[in-house]
Structure formats: structure tokens, C-alpha cells
Amino acid sequence: MNEDEIADKVYEERERIVDLYRNGPSDGTIIDPVDDPAFNDYYKLDRFGFVIGDESKFKKEDPQDIKIEVTREQKWLKMISNWDGLSRDKLKRRVYKGIPNSLRGKVWAKLLGVDQLTDDQKNKYKHMRELAWEHSPDVRQIDLDVNRTYREHINFRKRYNSKQQELFNILSAYSIYNLDIGYTQGMSQIAALLLMYLSEDEAFWALSTLISNSKYHMHGFFIPGFPKLIRFQDHHDKIMNKLLPKLKKHLDKNGVETGLYTLKWFFQCFLDRIPFKLTLRVWDIFLLEGDKILSAMAYCLLKLHRHQLYALGMDDILNFLQVKLEQNYQYTADYTIEKLQECLTELKKIKLDNAGPPSQNEKLKRELGIFNPDDIPVRKPQINGVDKKRKPINADQIHSSPEQDSQRQGSIITNGKNSLDDVSSIVGDSSRRSLLDTSVTSAATTTMSPQSIENDDAGSDVTCVSPQPDVLRIYVPYDTPTKKSPTSVSNKITTIQVMDDMATPTVETDGMFKAVSTIN
């Protein structure tokens, strides 16, 4: 395939995908079962908008918690109206107590300076979005990831609905707004979380702040080589050796290295690794305090659960850290945040509260928002499945057997073997888990048995069949004369080349990292 043919192919594919997000399927094709009028769409939602597949697990809010939330709302409304005159100590005290969910979007926007950005950069997002529709080389990968991001949340449940459109737009626009990293798998869930509380325009600027502002600087996580991830994992090891040496020795003895469990902790600030209610509280503090919270919360979680971990071997340790902490967390959010504050104080006393300054290769190299089509690498098109249209779902797939229906409770079942949507199933009552556990975004392939999901009492164990270490898949350009495969970094990244089933170019890491790039 010559360069002109590649360019034509990329253009046609991008045009088709963008059209689906702007206009939906023109022929009425049913993309997912939930889009069919015959699909049973009656379900309960938790307070955060997640579908509860098993009604027996639906829990009403504690009246006392509701009363406290209402009282806090009144206090926060006054604080928001006097934001510029608010003392740092008072703000910090209130954030640690918890931001009312009804006001979380307003407060997050204030903490991230979104209002100022939207005023200063009027129409910039709209302009970048329109350029992305024409030029972004990452549209296909973004489409795949939108299809498997928080599909168990009411906002993103239906294919090509308004929130999926907004998510696609934000990720596409950012892929050419920041040409240092373009689009990286892992951004989709962060952007989706922001969209639960912010408008499309606000969420774009919030994402930009998280990635480029020195207080959070997620840029260092997403660029090739993952320099910030390595820095934070090294710092985590220092904390463990100093404060939890017995647990560190136990983890090492069982082959559980830091890289096996901290990817999602650091890359996405604990999304999908602890209960969503607690995750939001951690994000509140993260937006206030910055990235030092990542190390403190990692230490806090291990300190709180060290006695359980002492009794476990490798597979059970991974199961505990990757599945059980989210599914069957033993402590309240308030108690955990109290302990987090204590951990922050403890780390500060021994000068381990900060992972140190970023290295030079973590920093931005290009000015944001300066777009030149010549800077965009040409991606060779995917051959496997890329030309296949999404097939209509047949009657057998929609009107499934009772057995299949029982398996579908709280799940979305996708259609078409080898279709673009093959990767987008929700398995069982996955709680806050992204499709195929794609929070970074493809996948720590933990498989839960039905029995483990049913046993939700405090003493039950959530078992994990063949638990795998966290896996990070990073989308990288197809081979071009000017692009090289990732290179080793301090013996922590080993590069090999493989062909995966979907012919998707990726960099994967597991353990202390294994980088993978696809050959076409």
C-alpha cells in the first residue's frame, strides 16, 4: 500500500467514525442490545449514576448521611460564592470532609481554574475539535476506547449518545492540542469521570490542566518511556522500605513487584481500584493537593490492609489489590480519609511526602494548541476488522435465552465476531470497572466467578480466576521512517515486537514493564 492509498484509507475511516458520532448510524443499525427498543431497559441506579444489575445489592442512602450532605451543601454554597476570599485552611478542611456530590462539578472547576481557562481560550476548544475531525490520526483508537469506557454508567450506556459524543470530541481534540503525547489509552476514563460533573468545554480544559499543570503533571505518565511512573514507583519503594519493611519483604518474596499493582493507582488516581465513592473523595483531595496524594494514598492503602496481605500468596495478593479492594472494601470513606491525612503527616515528617522534581524528559516540549498538519504522523490503517461495518444484531442476540439473560444482568453484550465492538463487554456486576477492565485501558484480565460476585458480605472473599498483573496499553504511531520503537530505560523497560489479534499498535507494560509495539 503506497502513501497515497494509506492517506485515502485513513481519511475514509476517520470520516466514517466522525460521522457516526455526529449523526449516529444513518441506517438505523442497532449497535448494542441496549439501543434496541425491545431491550429491557428497566434498572436501578446508584447515587452516582451506575447501573445496578443485581437489585439485591441496591442500597438506600443512610438518612443520616443525607442530612449531613444537605448541611454541607449549604456551607459549600456560601464558600463557592466567596471563593476568592476563602482561606486555604478552611478550604482544605472542607475538602477533606468531603465535597457534596451535587456541587462537586462546581468545586472541581474552581480547583482546576476551568472558568479562567474557558474565558481566556474562548472558542479554542471548538476550533481544536473541528481540526481533530479532519486531521486526528487517533480517531479509530479513540472510538474503540469510548466504546468500552464506563458503559455501566447511565451517561455512557448507549452507543453514540450525547455523552459518548462529548467524550469522543474531547479526546479527539486533545490528541492534536498536545502533540507531545497525542491520544494515549488511559485518558478516556479520566475524561469520562470529568464529564460526569462538568460540561464538554469544561471537561476539556480540566483534562488539559491535569496533564500539563505542574501541580498534577500527568503528562509525565503518558509520554513514551513513562518517566513519571518510574519516578513514582521508585519513590513508593523508598516509602515501603522505610515504613513497611515487613510488608515489602513479604511482597518481594511472593514476586509482587511495585509495577504489578501501582499502574492504575498512579496513572488514574485509583480509578477502578477502590470503591467509586472513595475514589471521588481521593480525587477531591488530589485536585486540591496535587500529585503528592498518589504516593500517600498508595502507602495508606497498604498500611491499612497489611495484616490481610501478610496472610496471602502472590495470586491472592494480586486479587486483593486489583479486585477485592474495590468489590469488598472493609473501611468507610471517612475513616480512610482520616488515615490518609495521618499518612501525609507521617511522610512529611520524614521528608518522603514528595517524589521529587520531574526529570527533563517528563516536561512538555511543544507549545500546546499550535497545530500544523505536517506534525501529524501518518498511521497505516488497521486491516483486521477496520473495514467491517458494524452488523445489525439479530433476533437471537436480542431475545436471548433465560440463561443468557441472567448473565446479562448489569451487562452490555456486544455483537459481531471480530467487529470493532468485540472488546466492549461488561462482565457481571463489575461495579465501577470499565469494559474489559480498561481503565488504563486494556486490560488487567481479572476474571471473577459468579460465586465471588454473589458473596458480598463483609466476610466473603472475592476470588479471582488466574489474576494477572496490571497491564497498560499505550497507543503509539504505526512504523514510519522517522519513528522508532521505545527503548529500554534503566533496565526497567524491555522492548519486543508482536502482532496482536486486532493489529492494534500498543505499548504494554506488566511487572516492571514490558514495552510492546505492533508490526504490520
Number of structural domains the chain divides into: 2
Are residues 206 and 266 part of one domain?
A: no
Report d(CA 148, CA 164) in Å as an integer.
10
Report d(CA 173, CA 287) in Å as an integer.
23
pLDDT at 27: 61
pLDDT at 41: 54
Burial category of 347 from C-beta neighbours within 10 Å (exposed 0-12, middle 13-18, buried 19 and up)? buried
Please report how the helices 124-135 and 162-177 are oriented relative to each other, as an axis angle in degrees rounded to 10.
90
Considering the domain boundaries, does residue 399 fall inside one?
Answer: no
Are residues 32 and 136 part of one domain?
A: yes
Are residues 242 and 205 part of one domain?
A: no
Are residues 247 and 136 part of one domain?
A: no
pLDDT at 33: 58
CB atoms within 10 A of CB 56: 8
Which of 350, 368, 384 marks a domain boundary?
350
Note the Cα 70 to chain centre separation in Å.
30
Considering the domain boundaries, does residue 424 fall inside one?
Answer: no
Are residues 111 and 171 part of one domain?
A: yes
Nearest Cα residue to 170 out of 198, 203, 122, 140: 203
Considering the domain boundaries, does residue 253 fall inside one?
Answer: yes
Are residues 103 and 11 part of one domain?
A: yes
Coil vs helix vs strand at 486 = coil
Are residues 338 and 261 part of one domain?
A: yes
Global pTM?
0.74
Which of 214, 248, 271 marks a domain boundary?
214
Residues 72-81: tens digit of each pLDDT: 999 999 999 9
CATH of residue 142: 1.10.8.270
Considering the domain boundaries, does residue 383 fall inside one?
Answer: no
Tell me if 417 sits within 8 A of 393, measured CB to CB. no
Cα dist from 179 to 127, 134, 365, whole Å:
15, 15, 9
**Position 386: which residue type?**
V
Considering the domain boundaries, does residue 375 fall inside one?
Answer: no
pLDDT at 159: 92
Are residues 85 and 190 part of one domain?
A: yes
Considering the domain boundaries, does residue 170 fall inside one?
Answer: yes
Are residues 27 and 161 part of one domain?
A: yes
Which of 316, 350, 384 marks a domain boundary?
350
pLDDT at 39: 54
Are residues 235 and 209 part of one domain?
A: no
| Residue segments in the chain with a per-residue pLDDT below the cut of 50 | 379-468, 472-520
**Domain coverage including residue 92:** 3-56+69-214
CATH of residue 250: 1.10.472.80
Residues 367-380: tens digit of each pLDDT: 999 988 776 655 44
In eight-state DSSP terms, residue 441 is S
pLDDT at 44: 82
* φ, ψ at 23 (rounded to 5°): -125, -15
Report d(CA 219, CA 267) in Å as an integer.
10
Considering the domain boundaries, does residue 419 fall inside one?
Answer: no
Considering the domain boundaries, does residue 41 fall inside one?
Answer: yes
- Which residues, other chains included, contact 213 with Cβ-Cβ below 8 Å and sequence gap of 6+? none
Are residues 101 and 33 part of one domain?
A: yes
Are residues 232 and 208 part of one domain?
A: no
Bin 465: left if φ > 0, else alpha if -120 < ψ < 50, else beta: beta
Report d(CA 459, CA 435) in Å as an integer.
27
pLDDT at 206: 98
